């Protein structure tokens, strides 16, 4: 894979953010908050870490990714389109009846989607299954999953974490998009999953903390995960919900709300300004 500079990665992450906003704006529905908070994780995974082939999405040796928090499909679709899995123009059809870009990811129709998700807590289990298959087949591919922090309230997540540690799935890495907000407010006020790091450790996972908007830190965390043998790795990515759009940042209200025209214009202007700055314009 060609090496992207940190500058390139940042540019990509902001293009992804712009396409998150465009999709949700065109659909007049969808989930911008968590998509923006996880955009940097997607960027590093697909443009620095994962071994995938946009021309051959079902390539057997590929690394797998499961969006366990399936509602952040806008970030996944924007990333896959940026990577070349399907045309970027299609993003404007997101959530429309005649589109293949379903509200929550569908592996049957969307090139590059490795698992259909949407119902919280299930994707992480599917990732366990993929990692088990990799071990059974003695293949080198790695499996990545992205969890929301509110999603940790689903008991199934802990069943999956238990199983991954039990079977020593060191070919598996999960990210926690730790933005601390869910639909009804702060995770600690709705139903606290804290202390998350201690719990992951107690469940037998290697735990790495990283600033979730720092591509270098995310890359280093992934490198450390690769060196970790005998246990799966959880990267707790400390993030800001709505990252990159001033009025969406750290606001639970933007979990699943679409911007109006004025808000869309402002969001795009803010994000584009970062891209232009990075391009030295």
Partner 1 sequence: MGDKIATREAYGSALAEFGGDNRIVVLDADLSKSTKTDTFKKKYPERFINMGIAEANMMATAAGLASCGKIVFASSFAMFAAGRAFEQVRNSICYPRLNVKIGATHAGITVGEDGASHQAIEDIAIMRAVPNMVVLSPSDAVETRHAVKAAIEHDGPVYLRLGRLAVPALYSEENFTFELGKGITVAEGTDVTIIATGLMVHTAVAAKEILAGEGIQARVIDIHTIKPIDQGIILKAAKETGAIVTAEEHNVIGGLGSAVAEVLIQNCPVPLKMIGVQDKFGKSGKPDKLLEMYGLTANDIVSQVKEVLKLKNK
Give one word for 84, left, alpha or beta, with left for phi > 0 and alpha for psi -120 to 50. Answer: left
User: Minimum distance between the CB of residue 193 and partner 1, rounded to whole angstroms?
Assistant: 17
CA-CA distance, 273 to 252, in Å (whole number)? Answer: 25
User: Minimum distance between the CB of residue 141 and partner 1, rounded to whole angstroms?
Assistant: 9
Q: Which is nearer to partner 1, 48 or 116 (CB)?
A: 116
Q: How does 206-223 read in b/e, with b if 16+ C-beta sit within 10 Å? A: bbbebebbbbebbbebbe
Q: Which residues would be at the binding site for partner 1 (CB under 8 A)?
A: 60, 64, 66, 106-108, 114-119, 121-123, 125-134, 136-137, 155-156, 159-160, 162-163, 166-167
CA-CA distance, 9 to 142, in Å (whole number)? Answer: 21
User: Minimum distance between the CB of residue 121 and partner 1, rounded to whole angstroms?
Assistant: 8
CA-CA distance, 206 to 14, in Å (whole number)? Answer: 30
User: Minimum distance between the CB of residue 132 and partner 1, rounded to whole angstroms?
Assistant: 6
Q: Which is nearer to partner 1, 119 or 192 (CB)?
A: 119
Q: Which is nearer to partner 1, 14 or 144 (CB)?
A: 144
Give the CA radius of gyration of the chain. 17
User: Minimum distance between the CB of residue 261 and partner 1, rounded to whole angstroms?
Assistant: 34
Q: Which is nearer to partner 1, 25 or 141 (CB)?
A: 141
Instruction: Give bridge partners of residue 235 from the DSSP assignment.
Output: 175, 208
Q: Which is nearer to partner 1, 26 or 168 (CB)?
A: 168
CA-CA distance, 50 to 29, in Å (whole number)? Answer: 30
User: Minimum distance between the CB of residue 163 and partner 1, rounded to whole angstroms?
Assistant: 6
Going edge to edge, which strands form the sheet with 64-67?
A: 64-67, 143-148, 172-178, 233-238, 206-211
């Amino acid at each position: 894979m060609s090496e992207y500079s940190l500058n390139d990665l940042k540019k990509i992450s902001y293009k992804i953010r712009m396409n998150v906003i465009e999709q949700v704006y065109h659909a007049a529905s969808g989930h911008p908050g968590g998509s923006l908070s996880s955009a940097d994780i997607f960027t590093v995974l697909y443009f620095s870490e994962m071994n995938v082939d946009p021309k051959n999405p079902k390539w057997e040796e590929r690394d797998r990714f499961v969006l366990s928090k399936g509602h952040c499909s806008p970030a996944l679709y924007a990333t896959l389109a940026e990577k070349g899995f399907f045309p970027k123009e299609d993003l404007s059809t997101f959530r429309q009846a005649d589109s293949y870009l379903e509200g929550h990811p569908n592996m049957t129709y969307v090139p590059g989607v490795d698992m259909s998700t949407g119902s919280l807590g299930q994707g992480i289990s599917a990732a366990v299954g993929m990692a088990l298959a990799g071990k059974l087949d003695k293949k080198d591919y790695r499996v990545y999953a992205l969890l929301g922090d509110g999603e940790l309230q689903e008991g199934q997540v802990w069943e999956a974490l238990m199983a991954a540690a039990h079977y020593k799935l060191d070919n598996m890495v999960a990210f926690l998009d730790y933005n601390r907000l869910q639909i009804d407010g702060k995770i600690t006020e709705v139903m606290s999953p804290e202390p998350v790091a201690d719990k992951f450790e107690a469940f037998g996972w290697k735990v790495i903390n990283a600033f979730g908007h720092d591509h270098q830190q995310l890359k280093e965390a992934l490198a450390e995960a690769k060196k970790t043998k005998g246990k799966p790795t959880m990267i707790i990515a400390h993030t800001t919900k709505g990252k990159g759009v001033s009025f969406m940042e750290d606001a639970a209200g933007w979990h699943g709300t679409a911007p109006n025209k004025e808000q869309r214009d402002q969001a795009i202007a803010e994000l584009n300004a970062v891209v232009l700055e990075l391009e030295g314009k």
